Amino acid sequence: MDTNLPRVTYSNIGEDFSAVHAHLDALLPKVRETVLGRDRLNLIAGEEDGDGVRYTAASPINRDWALGHFIAASEVAVRRAVEAAQDAYPDWSRRPWLERVSLLRRAAERFEARKYDLSAACLFEVGKSRMEAVGEVEETIDLIRYYAAEMEKNEGYDRPMQRAFQQEATRCVLRPQGVFAVIAPFNFPVALSVAMTTGALLAGNTVVYKPSPMAGLTGRLLADCFVEAGLPAGALNLVCGGAEVGETLVAHPGVAGVAFTGSHAVGMGIFRRMAERPYAHPVIAEMGGKNPTYVTANADLDTASSGVMRSAFGLSGQKCSAGSTVLVHERVADEFLGALVDKTAKLTVGDPQRADVFVGPVINRAAAERFERVAASVRQQGRFAAGGEMLAGGLYDRGYYAAPSIATDLPPDHDLHKDELFLPFLTVRRFADLGSAIREGNDVPYGLTAGIYTQDEAELQLFLNTAEAGVLYANRASGATTGAWPGIQTFCGWKGSGVTGKGGLGPWYVPQFMREQSHTVMG
Ligand code: UN1
């Protein structure tokens, strides 16, 4: 189905997507009626499981719409899930790696077949725009295929070594670890859950997966795709719930490693917790970002204002890659800000079911309250060039909708230039010297992405050589700091944005779920 529709990525912004929109016009009301509002149980050892506390999650678009009813798994259920994954491990880990690759490729086909249903569920669940939702599921499919191809390219990470003697043969083999806990965030509920799960499974581990409490709907739907692909019972178990469920999971001694994407505080908490065990266990954590963009006096300001606007306000700024602070050269600052404010004023904030909506709601009340605190602080010490308020009236009273906001004139050392906020909120500062500006942009505990707009080669090189972040972009209209794609931009968090020095979307991801073993056999 739908094979003739063009593919949506985050970056192919100029293309004609009218066919995709027509398809979604018909599909979205159907999904609202038939997919939302149902009971969604956990999955343990291949069986549906209702052991725990039932809770209802609402769509951030309109709190009156129940996404579904989920089960916050009981402690006993979490333990059973880990045991099921332990039981499934010997069979799954000993299968030939090629078999795991072909099974995961079948999973990619299931995602392809359900692409628009999953995108629609994701739109209702997170409140992301049509293009962001479809793009995310496209990214998911590419992720699986890319990681599967890496496994193949590296021949299962099993390679012959040199011989010390003629009679001796040695191989270096990467082996799985055991049961991985996969703990995923709300903002890219499909792509990030599937990325971590696929990495773990391809490597031969089994998984207990906990989606964000807001994202149990896509959590269950994506688990179903893996099951439909033929994954053996217990190789992937789903437990919904909040922080307590995550803590029970991470504390279980049967968990050999944790893959986590989310906030810095929670990620580091898991890292420290796992370090308290008798010996070290892998923690693959991708955490937040405070991603600076530099606009120099030699920038194309039309491109710069488009790219900054998209990265700051796409998905209401709720991306770890969001471009949340701009440093602009004083000579072009007014002109740049004027263009940025113009483009921001044209954005439609509202129900992302609509084709013309670029900015949907923020995820929940906590985000709205954070926005109010930020806005009060800007009014005290700076000013708003755009936005600054929560929107009210009509649908805006049914969810939490923040106006895309641009703060200027804040003191240079103000916390709002440094804190990750996960809001449609951008600070803009002026600079006279690019080298000092980059030092300022680097002066945060994060290091995920950074962007520059310049036509000057020396400025570009200075940026590439001194920006402290794992993903650097220059002169992109589709996004100053966002839009990394599997097999294209590797996505490695430096400093407080990651812990392993290796990233997702690239060639070093899957081996992180493995450990090395040397096999020497005398002939
Ligand atoms: C995130 O930003 O939270 O690069 C995850 C991007 C996407 C999403 C990354 N691949 O913007």
Which atom of ligand 1 is found nearest the CA of 448?
2
Distance CA(208)–CA(237), nearest Å, equals: 5
Å from CA of 92 to ligand 1 middle: 30
- For the chain, how big is the Rg over CA atoms in Å? 23
Whole-number Å distance, alpha carbon 76 to ligand 1 midpoint, is 34
- CA 518–ligand 1 middle distance (angstroms): 36
What's the rounded Cα separation, in Å, for the pair 350 and 364?
Answer: 15
pLDDT at 446: 98
Taking the CA of residue 311 as reference, the ligand 1 atom at the shortest distance is 11
CA of 318 to the centre of ligand 1 (A): 9
Q: What angle do CA 148, 150, 155 make, to 5 degrees?
A: 100
Q: How far apart are CA 416 and CA 151, in angstroms?
A: 42
Buried b (16+ CB within 10 A) or exposed e, 51-82: bbeeeebbbbbbeeeebbebbbbbbebbbbbb
Which of 291, 313, 321, 509 should be mutated for ligand 1, with most atoms under 8 A from CB? 321
Q: What's the CA-to-centroid distance between 170 and ligand 1, angstroms?
A: 40
- Ligand 1 in reach of 310 Cβ (< 6 A): no
d(CA 141, ligand 1 centre) in Å: 15
State the Cα–Cα distance between residues 162 and 218, nearest whole angstrom. Answer: 47
Ligand 1 lined by 492 (C-beta under 6 Å):
no
The answer to whether the CB of 311 is under 6 A from ligand 1 is no
Q: Give the ligand 1 atom nearest the CA of 484.
A: 4
Alpha-carbon gap, residue 449 to 194, rounded angstroms: 22
Q: How are beta strands 158-160 and 449-453 bridged, if at all?
A: unpaired
Residues with a known catalytic role: 286, 320
d(CA 269, CA 260): 11
Quick one: tokens of 323?
A: 């471009």
From CA 437, how far away is CA 299, in angstroms rounded? 15
Count the neighbouring beta carbons within 10 Å of the beta carbon of residue 83.
18
Q: Is the CB of 319 under 6 A from ligand 1?
A: yes
DSSP summary character for residue 491:
B
Task: Identify the three-state secondary structure at position 448.
Answer: coil
| Cα gap 184→192, rounded to integer Å | 7
- State whether the beta carbon of 264 lies less than 6 angstroms from ligand 1: no
Domains belonging to the chain, first-starting first, are 41-287+501-522 (3.40.605.10), 292-485 (3.40.309.10)
Nearest residue CA, atom 10 of ligand 1? 484
Q: Which stretch of DSSP H or E encloses residue 199?
A: helix 191-202
The pLDDT of residue 10: 83
Whether the CB of 320 sits within 6 Å of ligand 1: yes
Mutate-to-test residue for ligand 1 from 136, 140, 188, highest number of ligand atoms within 8 A of CB: 188
- Which helix (H) or strand (E) covers residue 380, if one does? helix 365-381
Cα(484) to centroid of ligand 1, in Å?
Answer: 6
Distance of alpha carbon 212 from alpha carbon 193, whole angstroms:
10
As to burial, measured by CB atoms within 10 angstroms (0-12 exposed, 13-18 middle, 19+ buried), residue 364 is middle
Q: Is the pTM of this model over 0.95?
A: yes
Q: Which amino acid is it at 325?
A: T
Q: Indicate the Cα dihedral angle 272, 273, 274, 280, nearest 10°.
A: 50
- Residue 226 Cα to ligand 1 midpoint, Å, equals 23
Ligand 1 pocket: which of 491, 492, 497, 509 to mutate (most atoms <8 Å of CB)? 491
Q: What is the pLDDT of residue 3?
A: 60
Q: State if residue 484 touches ligand 1 by the CB under 6 angstroms criterion.
A: yes
Instruction: Report the atom number in ligand 1 closest to the C-alpha of 321.
Output: 2
CA-to-CA separations, 140 to 13, 86, 136, 295, in angstroms, rounded: 19, 26, 6, 32
DSSP SS3 for 236: strand
Q: Which atom of ligand 1 is nearest to the CA of 185?
A: 3
Atom of ligand 1 minimally distant from the CA of 289 = 2
**What pLDDT is stored for residue 2 in this prediction?**
52
List the pLDDT tens digit at each of the 523 positions of the chain. 556 788 998 888 778 999 999 999 999 999 999 999 999 999 999 999 999 999 999 999 999 999 999 999 999 999 999 999 999 999 999 999 999 999 999 999 999 999 999 999 999 999 999 999 999 999 999 999 999 999 999 999 999 999 999 999 999 999 999 999 999 999 999 999 999 999 999 999 999 999 999 999 999 999 999 999 999 999 999 999 999 999 999 999 999 999 999 999 999 999 999 999 999 999 999 999 999 999 999 999 999 999 999 999 999 999 999 999 999 999 999 999 999 999 999 999 999 999 999 999 999 999 999 999 999 999 999 999 999 999 999 999 999 999 999 999 999 999 999 999 999 999 999 999 999 999 999 999 999 999 999 999 999 999 999 999 999 999 999 999 999 999 999 999 999 999 999 999 999 999 999 999 999 999 8
- Name which of 207, 188, 189 is nearest 197 in CA terms: 207
Look at residues 430, 382, 443, 374 and name the one whose alpha carbon lies nearest to residue 402.
374
CA dihedral 263, 131, 356, 342 (to 10 degrees): 60
